Amino acid sequence: MSDNRILIADDNLTNVELLQAYLEEIDCQISVAADGQDTLSKVSEFKPHLILLDIMMPKLSGFEVCKMIKSDPATRGIMVLMVTALNELGDIERAIASGCDDFLSKPVNKLELLKRVDNMLRLRHVTDELERLRCYIDG
């Protein structure tokens, strides 16, 4: 089993099941959160490398969740891919302002999702390796 951990944060079970089915092609562990508060709890427990984050969720919006994750030094390195039906320019600007690393509109194209997830996980692992080497060099 891979050490890639992906958190799917979406309150719509159909969307969650679709994303899980698409991600079967990637060697990864998946956890699911159904609202903004649950997402933050799962971030602490599951320690994902990547979050597929819906914007329109109960308790805390994806914008709020992303901003909280990216403002915390312990979690800011987690990659966040906003996956949402909101695709107006203002929504995209808000997603970027909240700190997300990428943005994907629903309905999700499987090939596009898999490529973005692969790229984001590879970037995360390269970043982790650079940090490990920096710590080694610094002694």
CA atoms within 13 A on the CB side of 37: 2
**Residues of the chain predicted below pLDDT 70:** 1-2
What's the pLDDT score for residue 92? 84
What's the pLDDT score for residue 53? 97
As a whole number of angstroms, the distance between CA 81 and CA 114 comes to: 12
pLDDT tens digits, one per residue of 98-118: 999 999 988 999 999 999 999
Q: pTM for the full model?
A: 0.91
What's the pLDDT score for residue 3? 85
Question: Which among 38, 136, 137, 126 is positioned nearest to 79, based on CA atoms?
Answer: 126
**Residue 79's CATH number:** 3.40.50.2300
What's the pLDDT score for residue 84? 84
What's the pLDDT score for residue 119? 95
What's the pLDDT score for residue 136? 84
What's the pLDDT score for residue 138? 85
Q: Partners of 8 in the beta sheet?
A: 32, 52
As a whole number of angstroms, the distance between CA 86 and CA 56 comes to: 8
Domains: count for the chain: 1
As a whole number of angstroms, the distance between CA 13 and CA 81 comes to: 18
Burial of 78 (0-12, 13-18, 19+ CB in 10 A): buried
Domain span at 133: 5-138
